[in-house]
Amino acid sequence: MKLKRVLKWSASVILLALAVWFFIAYWMSTNECDRKTAAHNPMKAILHCEYGGPEVLKVEEVEKPVPNDNQLLVKVRAASVNPLDLTIRGPLLLRPLFGLRKPKDTRLGVDYAGTVEAVGKNVTQFKPGDEVFGGRDGALAEYVCVLADRAVVLKPANMTFEQAAAVPVAAITALQGLRDKGKIQAGQKVLVNGASGGVGTFAVQIAKSFGTEVTGVCSTRNVDLVRSIGADHVIDYTKEDFTKTDQRYDLIFDLVGNHSFSERRRILNPSGICVMAGIGGAGWHDGMAMRLAGELNAYVASRFVSQKFVAYIATLTKADLTILADLMQSGKVIPVIDRTYKLSEVSAALGYLEEGHARGKVVITVEQNNKT
Ligand SMILES: NC(=O)c1ccc[n+]([C@@H]2O[C@H](COP(=O)([O-])OP(=O)(O)OC[C@H]3O[C@@H](n4cnc5c(N)ncnc54)[C@H](OP(=O)(O)O)[C@@H]3O)[C@@H](O)[C@H]2O)c1
């Protein structure tokens, strides 16, 4: 009886301590917007001081970054938005990481392309005037500082800044999913579900560059687009269910996850692989929680069958950006750009992306301010 009382009392004390800790941590959760002072050498950047939808994004003046000895200062000419940028909504599960009450990191964007304005003294691979593209946090701004040995490479001369800015996150997701997780091989039959979006339009072209026979799944309005980027076959999901045909595939690159484990297994060859890369277009839509649960179930269930169901998070690397630059240089991959917005219109750009029906990439052009 005494032990029971001690245990009950201890549990209450722990719960109370946790509640107090949470309350203090919640109210102490601040960000740079609360401490903002006038910038000495200002540049424009997109900030989100609060959690919320695209309407919370603001163009603000912040301090222009100064490169250290190992960095480049890049004048951003174009950037692009990704589903990842919608974490501005502050999903509850991620808040312990991102900031409980307010986002710790108020800057937005990853993909950029631009011109090198200055280099640190240890940088030998780049020089001022070089046109580059790559990925780094806070890319939705007039300038970014990037470490020369990270994910930044020279832009192919035949690509515009807008095209190059469309590449990093989406194309690397497609490349790593098909090559590293899907073990893609020439001659294979590959199906891309979600072929018309930011990642899908790269996946179709990259799969073709590996010498495979590609089937793209999209809706009626995107059939011509998906065919035009090289798909050998196109399935209109509004008219036909791709899991109910007689076709068998060696690799399914699935960006939607709207079919069950057994439905997809039925159309995979015995040693086939299903790469579960996403759960549909950007934003949170009806049925996504079920899709997420379905993907978890498929991951576990596939341990007991010959086909593999794998998931992953893409990583930006210089090596893979170099491969993509070569594919663009040779004309094997041409970024598909749906809409272009100005930096001051990022809220509208992200709002459009969030609808989940982008056709290729949504790109931001950064107006040139001649003051440096
Ligand atoms: N694993 C990773 O590291 C990683 C990295 C980046 C992205 N992702 C994920 O990959 C997914 C796609 O990203 P994204 O950038 O390509 O998004 P996106 O550009 O917003 O994708 C939009 C496309 O999805 C298509 N779509 C929506 N529902 C569909 C369905 N039922 N069947 C076929 N297509 C459908 C839309 O076509 P319609 O308009 O015709 O419906 C539209 O063209 C997202 O879930 C994203 O979170 C994962």
Q: Is this structure's pTM higher than 0.85? A: yes
Provide the pLDDT for residue 68.
Answer: 98
Residue with CA nearest ligand 1 atom 40: 219
pLDDT by residue (tens digit) across 150-195?
A: 999 999 999 999 999 999 999 999 999 999 999 999 999 999 999 9
Among residues 285, 351, 340, 341, the alpha carbon closest in space to that of 57 is found at: 351
The CA distance from 360 to 221, in Å, is 13
As a whole number of angstroms, the distance between CA 241 and CA 217 comes to 9
CB of residue 280 inside a 6 A radius of ligand 1: yes
| Rounded distance from Cα 363 to ligand 1 centre (Å) | 16
- Looking at residues 33-51, what average pLDDT do you find? 89
Query: Is the CB of residue 83 less than 8 Å from the CB of residue 364?
Result: no
Residue 283 CA to ligand 1 centre (angstroms): 9
Distance 357 CA to ligand 1 centre (A): 8
> For a substitution probing ligand 1, which of 204, 255, 312 has the most ligand atoms within 8 Å of its CB?
255
Task: Give mean pLDDT, residues 215-221.
Answer: 98
Cβ–ligand 1 distance for 108 under 6 Å, the answer no
Confidence of residue 372 (pLDDT cuts 50, 70, 90): very low
- pLDDT tens digits for range 115-161: 999 999 999 999 999 999 999 999 999 999 999 999 999 999 999 99
State if residue 358 touches ligand 1 by the CB under 6 angstroms criterion: yes
SS3 42: strand
| Candidate from 17-31, 60-74, 83-97 with smallest mean pLDDT | 17-31
CB of 286 shorter than 6 A to ligand 1: no
pLDDT at position 31 is 76
H/E run at residue 2: helix 2-28
Q: How far is CA 158 from CA 66, 135, 309, 335, in A?
A: 30, 20, 37, 12
- Ligand 1 pocket test target in 87, 173, 217, 241 with most atoms within 8 Å of CB: 173
Residue 96 has pLDDT above 70, yes or no: yes
Q: What is the pLDDT of residues 302-312, one digit of tens each?
A: 999 999 999 99
CB of residue 283 inside a 6 A radius of ligand 1: no
Separation of 30 CA from ligand 1 center, angstroms?
33
Q: What is the CA(216)–ligand 1 centre distance, in A?
A: 13
Residue 170 Cα to ligand 1 midpoint, Å, equals 10
Task: Count other Cβ atoms within 10 Å, centred on residue 179.
Answer: 16
Q: Which atom of ligand 1 is nearest to the CA of 196?
A: 43
- The angle formed by the CA atoms of residues 27, 52 and 93, to the nearest 5 degrees, is 65
First to last CA, the chain: 75
Q: What is the pLDDT of residue 369?
A: 65
> Cα–Cα distances in Å, from 338 out to 31, 50, 95, 163, 210?
34, 28, 32, 11, 25
- Which neighbouring-strand residues pair with 131? 115
The answer to whether 178 and 251 have CB atoms below 8 angstroms apart is yes
Calculate the average pLDDT of the chain.
94
**Ligand 1 in reach of 182 Cβ (< 6 A):** no
Phi, psi of 360 (to 5 degrees): 90, -150
276, pLDDT greater than 50 = yes
Residue 316 in contact with ligand 1 by CB distance below 6 A: no
Beta strand pairing status for 152-154 and 131-135? antiparallel
**Interval 82-102 mean pLDDT:** 91
Q: Does position 370 have pLDDT exceeding 60, yes or no?
A: no
Predicted pLDDT of residue 183? 98
Which of ligand 1's atoms lies nearest the C-alpha of 356?
A: 20
**Look-up: residue for tokens 């791709």?**
242
Mean pLDDT, residues 42-48 taken together: 96
Exposure b/e, 308-333, CB count within 10 A at least 16 = b: bbbbeebebeeebbebbbebbeeeeb
| Dihedral sign (CA 210, 211, 213, 217) | positive
Structure-model confidence comparison of residues 24 and 100, the more confident one: 100
Taking the CA of residue 359 as reference, the ligand 1 atom at the shortest distance is: 43
| Ligand 1 lined by 256 (C-beta under 6 Å) | yes
pLDDT tens-digit map of 241-272:
999 999 999 999 999 999 999 999 999 999 99
